[in-house]
Chains A and B, each alone.
Chain A
């Protein structure tokens, strides 16, 4: 069994975060909220960057105890073909979406790397920014994905507690705790610009997971100094697989965690998805959170034919339309930003690549 990396136990600068996460700490929730708000305003201004997820496929090869798409579920399986993807993208573009997250299950023959890369190419043709939340890949696969127009990947460790992880991930490639732990670093090695990390809150001790997550972010930031980093706070909701989270995280605890992360990582993007309710997302906008998903469908496709109802990966709690969401943000004096990227900045960067190295015919001054 591979041993744990040193950074996972590196607590040199996590003491302040640990103190803030403690509900008995001297920092009240209100004090933390005020500091988180000031830092968010300073760094991100009065804006909220928006993205929308598109599930490409719900085929899966792993047996995650908590997931509605685990391979033993009776859920009907489907994947979008290139023409389906174009139809979905066209429907999303009509809604104003330019920033998209493509999702699949763990690697299967139905949705393998070639399928994903082709899907990224199609999406990059239509959208301004394409992120991927799929399966762990090799460095060369990430490099190919970056060159196909993928700007960012999201890969949640789910839990950093190895024992809990191995109990929950019962079969399939996702069983490999260490491989998953090393995936964000491989993505950055491959030239993916931004990695998004997170734990699935509810699976294990949230404070312990939050500290490990923080160490992971700090390790990646120190090691890959060009890396864009983001942290999401997905909280277990009733799944299609009827899994009851053993460590439920209540609204106050989640808020405390988000405030503490904003204070500990003032420049890192913090993301809150439609797993949370409209009221909670309205309240958290600008209090640490600077990026949100909108108009989420957690079924395969779902934008082109919104009447087509099937069970998604999880239940969406904030099902407001884009207009309703944007009105709520504007009422809070926050501008919803649909485009905050330019595809010209895509493609993997070789370490320390200056133009001189790329343009060999350039005369040196």
Chain B
């Protein structure tokens, strides 16, 4: 079997689902089920211990076969993310932590410096650290060195639906990485998820594309199928791409036969 390995955890699904932006909890849970995702992320700021109407944590925790990965969305510094990770682990019992540090609440781009510092500390503390980062090949290696369980570079700006705008950098990250590379953010369509998997990503994380769709469970299923197809294609090996047709009169004919 072809499993996604994160720390000591193995998952047969390579689709990770985000849980924000849905119109209600019931639809969100239906989408998680339809996606077959075994790992879902939920923002600590959406844990509501006092009022269960909009709490995302409790209903997700009750879903069988699903591992929770709390995230630190809302943190603007490494120190805040570390504190949030401690609270999230205490509340959820999960060792996974998706480190999201976006100091600019408008464009939500991840802060590489604060992310690095937070990941270094959290990995040492035994968390399975999953950092959301810009598609930066050097940062990806630095995070691998400090013990992250994966790196999660963005395909394009969060929620933008611009797809794999960072494809060139993603290819570099995938080529050099010894830990799973998971594309997180920016995907709009299942075909983009399939493409990410064909490129060699270990998994993809999708949220807005499913939550904002007119039929989230259907869209979740479509992403699930696309991720599986992309992975299968990657394993089978894509035929090499050539930028030009092979000339019928070879350009090197003048060299004669190779001795």
Contact = CB atoms under 8 A, between A and B. Distances in A.
Given A194-B105, A221-B106, A336-B54, A46 B21 contact: yes
A335 B44 CA distance: 18
B117 A335 contact: no
A45 B21 contact: yes
A344 B79 CA distance: 10
Given A345-B84, A365-B120, A365-B146, A339 B106 contact: no
A249 interface: no
Contacts of B221: none
B110 to A, nearest CB: 13
Interface residues of B, number: 46
Contacts of A340: 45-46
A225 B103 contact: yes
Given A98-B48, A355-B78, A338 B117 contact: no
A344 B146 CA distance: 25
B22 interface: yes
A98 B50 contact: yes
Interface stretch (A36-44, A113-121, A272-280): A36-44
B74 interface: yes
Contact of B103 (A93, A226, A333): A226
Interface residues of A, number: 42
Interface of A: 41-47, 93, 96, 98, 193-194, 221, 225-229, 267-268, 326, 330, 333-342, 344-345, 349, 353-356, 358, 362, 365
Interface of B: 20-25, 44-48, 50-51, 53-55, 74-80, 82-84, 87, 103-108, 113-114, 117-118, 120-121, 146, 159-161, 208, 211-212
7 contacts: A98-B48, A229-B105, A339-B51, A349-B76, A349-B77, A355-B118, A362-B121
Given A42-B212, A355-B78, A365-B120, 11 more contacts: A45-B212, A93-B50, A193-B105, A228-B105, A228-B106, A330-B23, A336-B54, A339-B47, A342-B47, A349-B77, A362-B121
